[in-house]
Copies of this chain bind each other. A is one copy, B any other.
């Protein structure tokens, strides 16, 4: 069975998955890199990093994944669709190495990158996008890559099988919140919290039977 999985999705204590004021030079707005410093300290990110609980969680990002779905806000800064040269925020060899489906009203031709990543642009509902991505994943799982709006919509539609979020002990105060409108979501999942010596808390939602 091909699962829909979320990995390493960081939020602040007040639930923001990205800050306010996103731009080409500030992919997470005023949050800067504060939501991801725990990740930069892992051995997965850099030699000499820690191999502890943050590292074992972060390493679940790739295995078994055959495609990603991401929102237009992850793919590019506001206004990217007016830049025909924009190819995403990750350079010539993006860290996906699979087909990536970008949900957008501004569809454009697919872009083949180095390392196995191809960006496809689709204007589709969450369920339609997941069906398309599953076909491309060829039996493997589909990563729902964010941002917060996309993950929230997939959760609300009941499409997420496994979710790993990381609560970072900061208060951003503004931005885009993950949890809005998801009352009683926990009832469909086994929820587990694991605090790390780094200060973050890993939160996993695992759907019964998956």
Contact = CB atoms under 8 A, between A and B. Distances in A.
Contacts of A167: 167, 193, 201
A171 B184 contact: yes
6 smallest CB-CB distances across A and B, nearest first, come from: A173-B183, A14-B179, A169-B191, A195-B195, A193-B195, A193-B201
A114 interface: no
Contacts of A113: none
Interface string A117-139: 00000000000000000000000
A203 B169 contact: yes
A108 B46 CA distance: 63
A186 B169 CA distance: 7
A170 interface: yes
Nearest to A200: B193
A47 interface: no
A174 interface: yes
A65 interface: no
A180 B194 CA distance: 25
Nearest to A196: B193
Interface in A153-184: 167, 169-174, 179-184
A64 interface: no
A3 interface: no
A32 to B, nearest CB: 12
A168 to B, nearest CB: 9
Given A171-B179, A173-B182, A174-B183, 15 more contacts: A13-B15, A167-B167, A167-B193, A167-B201, A171-B182, A171-B183, A171-B184, A171-B185, A173-B181, A173-B183, A193-B195, A193-B201, A194-B195, A195-B195, A195-B201
